[in-house]
Each structure stands twice: as C-alpha cells, then as structure tokens.
Amino acid sequence: MSEVRFTDQHEWVRLEGDEATIGITRHAAEQLGDVVFVELPQAGRKVGAGGEAAVVESVKAASEVYAPVGGEVTASNSALETEPAKVNEDPEGAGWFFKLKLSDKAEFAKLMDEAAYREFVKGL
C-alpha cells in the first residue's frame, strides 16, 4: 500500500516500501501553466531532502523541483522529455518526475498529509 505526502513547495511524494515517487502537485501545475520542458535527474544521483533535483519550465516561468526526502535516484520519467504536457494532464499520476530509494523514512513522516496540504493551499 502506498502513502502520499506533500511539501510546502508543492511537491508530492508517494512511498511504496522504501521507494519514493516524486512530482509536483496539481496546484503547482495550474500555477505554472503549460509545461514546455522538464529536466530530470540521472539514476544514481544522490539528493538530500530539500535539495534541487529537477527543473520544470512553462510558458510562464522556470522552477526548481526539490526532493521532499533524501535518497538515491533510481529512475526518471523519460516520457516527460518528449511529452512535458503530461505534467499538466496528470501531475499526480503519469506526470511524475523521478523515483528515489529513500535514505530515511523519518523525513517522509515529517511531510504534510493530504488534508494538511489542502488546508495549506487554501491559505495561499
């Protein structure tokens, strides 16, 4: 069973075992507008919680995507390189950015659950 958590930078992380799948939230995708380019991390790269891991560019802006948790990149969603619009179409599903082998599950536990994230977004 997977569990999803969120950051105040509008990333989501879905944990299945010790593998974390990471992307940006629907709110972030809506704020960015049409995504035109995504730069993804290479497998084997180590990232710390809160560290820059990817870049997303839209017609409005370019923005970093931060790793909500630390670990080693195990995969990137190469489909986004040719179809960056998947980020807008399904940001919390097929539009995922990368996967990590989690280094510390305690980092995941510190993130917001869905209810807390919804409340956070309401206050923006």
Mean pLDDT value of segment 37-56: 97
Question: Can you give the CATH number for the domain in which 57 is found?
Answer: 2.40.50.100
Other CB atoms within 10 A of residue 95 CB: 24
Sign of CA dihedral 75, 81, 84, 86: negative
- Give a yes or no: residue 121 inside a domain: no
Task: Give the pLDDT band (50/70/90) at residue 59.
Answer: very high
Cβ neighbours of residue 2 closer than 8 Å, sequence gap 6 or more: 14, 15, 16
Q: Which domain does 57 fall in, by range?
A: 3-112
What tens digit of pLDDT does each residue of 19-44 get? 999 999 999 999 999 999 999 999 99
pLDDT at 2: 82
pLDDT at 86: 97
- Give a yes or no: residue 27 inside a domain: yes
Cβ neighbours of residue 122 closer than 8 Å, sequence gap 6 or more: none
